[in-house]
């Protein structure tokens, strides 16, 4: 299980130094992401991917749930009403739920692509001023160790927060 930590770094050289230190601390490069002003992030720093910059993942998750519920209810209604005298097997309800989940994920994911990530909105002003946002996914058991390492070596780097744990049933 991993937690995402957010740090605001003053500039690109500081981001390079942080990347090197995190790699030496055995944090994989695929777990480190940087977000800077458009066009200012060099190629040697791992940037934010499409899924991080947009609300695609959240939209798809919401679409899966809503689509499965609607699909199941439509299948249930078909089984109860028996349209045109046709008997609808019980398995159709599950297939309708699956089809609704797939369609919901696709449709809501496409809508989420057009929306910026709400978790990153609070950092956009400081990023536009020239700071660099670093997101690092660390194992929970090493979270305190990584936070202490960064605080000791770079006291001027501001800790911007951590992503709250996801609840199984909100």
Closest CA to 108 of 153, 58, 73, 51: 58
Q: Is the pLDDT of residue 169 over 50?
A: no
* Helix H or strand E segment including 12: helix 12-24
User: Which of 17-31, 82-96, 150-164 holds the top average pLDDT?
Assistant: 17-31
Q: In which band, very low, low, confident or very high, does the pLDDT at 106 lie, cut at 50, 70 and 90?
A: very high
Q: Is the pLDDT of residue 18 over 80?
A: yes
> All domains of the chain, ordered by start, with CATH?
2-49+127-162 (3.30.70), 56-113 (no CATH)
Cα(68)–Cα(55) distance, rounded to whole angstroms? 20
Q: What is the mean pLDDT of the chain?
A: 85
Which residue(s) pair with 2 in the sheet?
139
The average pLDDT across 83-103 equals 88
pTM listed for this prediction: 0.73
The pLDDT value given to residue 126: 86
Helix axes 12-24, 143-153, angle to 10 degrees: 130
């Amino acid at each position: 299980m991993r937690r995402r930590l957010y740090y605001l770094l003053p500039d690109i050289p500081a981001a390079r130094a942080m990347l090197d230190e995190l790699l030496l601390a055995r944090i994989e490069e695929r777990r480190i992401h940087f977000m800077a002003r458009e066009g200012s992030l060099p190629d040697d720093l791992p940037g934010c991917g499409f899924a991080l910059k947009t609300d695609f993942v959240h939209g798809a998750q919401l679409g899966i749930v809503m689509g499965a519920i609607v699909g199941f209810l439509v299948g249930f209604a078909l089984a109860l009403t028996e349209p045109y005298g046709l008997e609808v097997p019980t398995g159709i309800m599950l297939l309708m739920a699956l089809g609704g989940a797939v369609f919901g994920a696709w449709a809501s994911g496409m809508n989420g692509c057009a929306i910026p990530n709400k978790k990153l909105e609070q950092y956009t002003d400081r990023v536009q001023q020239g700071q660099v946002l670093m997101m690092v996914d660390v194992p929970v058991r090493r979270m305190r160790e990584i936070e202490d390492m960064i605080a000791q070596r770079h006291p001027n780097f501001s800790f911007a927060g951590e992503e709250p744990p996801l609840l199984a049933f909100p």
